[in-house]
């Protein structure tokens, strides 16, 4: 049995699909299952059992010895959530409980961290664990993720294999339910589809021209391939970056979206809202050397290829992966 928490969500449901495609059907999906739009992500997938996240630890205590692997992807992921107690409960404390159960039942663990832990990148985007205590996340969500990372690397007792994955800007199918937290590609597709044009945030940093703010965009299919690799690798426990390793501009992204939609480019700029301007990241890029050093050799999907696949095979037909 393989457990996937947050399984009805964006990355979780894509991972279930990947596991099914590799012949793994004894999958335990854990989530709240109270969002019908989100539950559509799991339709047609081969699942052994669905467990409410509040019942998960009780369930695990009855079958713990039979669980082969846990992917803990469930979290409160809203970067605009300012209830620190809620974020601590959902993201930090819940993950500590999973960690302790993985030790108790000898279960290997992969959990979701976030590039939000890097803040403005004062210490760069290098997954050197010595830097983790120094990082300054920009919001309570990033703090809750970094709090767990700090706790994990300080533990003397650990699961026999564990990996934390710092997801960068993940995009791809199965994010229809995410609303304003969906990827820029999905927002671009919807805006272009509705208006024939796209508005991007103007740059308020003299070092970057309008639209040339840069992010590390990583396709969700690559993300789940890394998860699958780690499920079989089961050594070199550590926290790893998970991005494409190549920063690209928002202009690149939007131009790729227009092209995939077979529409003429129509791009304009609006001011970045004043309330987020001082916390706006102008550049992120994952240093991927550490993951590659343990044997992950697969090439990451280019932004153009990823956007084309996402737009043509999913967004344009509202299809699921």
The three-state secondary structure class of 51 is strand
Give the Å distances, CA to CA, from 303 to 113, 215, 245, 317. Answer: 22, 11, 11, 20
- Residue ranges for the known binding site are 10-11, 31-32, 38, 53, 73-77, 145, 169-170, 178, 180, 187, 201-204, 215, 280
Q: Residues 178, 199, 263, 312: which is the catalytic one?
A: 178
Q: What is the pLDDT of residues 118-162, one digit of tens each?
A: 999 999 999 999 999 999 998 889 999 999 999 999 999 999 999
Q: What is the pLDDT of residues 265-317, one digit of tens each?
A: 999 999 998 888 887 889 999 999 999 999 999 999 999 999 999 999 999 99
Q: Is 18 a catalytic residue?
A: no
Domains of the chain with bracketed CATH: 2-172+217-245+287-298 (3.40.50.720)
> Which of 126, 106, 110 is closest to 293 using CA atoms?
126
Q: Is 141 a catalytic residue?
A: yes
Give 186-255 as a DSSP string: HHHHHHHHHHS-EEEEPP-STTS-TT--EE-EEEHHHHHHHHHHHHHH--S-EEEEES-S--EEHHHHHH
Q: What is the pLDDT of residues 180-226, one digit of tens each?
A: 889 999 999 999 999 999 999 999 999 999 999 999 999 999 999 99
Q: What is the pLDDT of residues 69-89, one digit of tens each?
A: 999 999 887 777 778 888 888
Q: Residues 141, 176, 314, 321: which is the catalytic one?
A: 141
> How far is it, in rounded angstroms, from Cα 127 to Cα 144?
17
pLDDT of amino acid 127: 97
pTM here?
A: 0.96
The three-state secondary structure class of 79 is coil
Neighbours of 299 (CB within 10 A): 7
Q: Which residues pair with 166 in a beta bridge?
A: 113, 241
Buried b (16+ CB within 10 A) or exposed e, 170-199: bbbbbbbbbeeebbbbbebbeebeeeeebe
Neighbours of 288 (CB within 10 A): 23
> How far is it, in rounded angstroms, from Cα 263 to Cα 260?
8
């Amino acid at each position: 049995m393989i457990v996937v928490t947050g399984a009805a969500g964006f990355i979780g449901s894509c991972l279930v699909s990947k596991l099914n495609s590799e012949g793994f059907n004894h999958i335990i999906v854990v989530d709240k299952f109270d969002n019908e739009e989100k539950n559509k992500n799991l339709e047609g997938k081969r699942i052994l059992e669905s467990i409410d996240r509040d019942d998960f630890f009780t369930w695990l205590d009855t079958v713990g010895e039979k669980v082969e692997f846990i992917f803990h992807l469930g979290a409160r992921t809203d970067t605009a959530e300012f209830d620190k107690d809620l974020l601590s409960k959902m993201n930090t404390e819940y993950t500590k409980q999973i960690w302790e159960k993985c030790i108790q039942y000898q279960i290997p663990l992969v959990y979701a961290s976030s590039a939000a832990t890097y803040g403005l990148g004062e210490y760069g985007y290098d997954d050197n664990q010595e830097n983790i205590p120094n990082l300054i996340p920009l919001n309570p969500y990033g703090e809750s993720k970094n709090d767990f990372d700090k706790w994990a690397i300080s533990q003397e007792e650990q699961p026999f294999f564990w990996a934390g994955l710092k997801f960068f800007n993940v995009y791809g199918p199965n994010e229809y339910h995410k609303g304003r937290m969906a990827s820029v590609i999905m927002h671009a597709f919807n805006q272009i589809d509705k208006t024939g044009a796209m508005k991007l945030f103007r740059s308020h940093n003299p070092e970057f021209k309008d639209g040339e703010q840069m992010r590390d965009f990583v396709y969700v299919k690559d993300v789940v391939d890394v998860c699958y690799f780690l499920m079989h690798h089961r050594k070199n426990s550590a926290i790893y970056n998970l991005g494409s390793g190549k920063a690209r501009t928002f202009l690149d992204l939007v131009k790729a979206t227009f092209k995939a939609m077979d529409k003429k480019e129509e791009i304009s700029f609006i001011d970045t809202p004043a309330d987020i301007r001082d916390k706006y990241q102008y550049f992120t890029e994952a240093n991927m050397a550490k993951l590659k050093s343990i044997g992950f050799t697969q090439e990451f999907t280019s932004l153009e290829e990823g956007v084309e696949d996402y737009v043509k095979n999913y967004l344009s037909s509202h299809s699921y992966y």
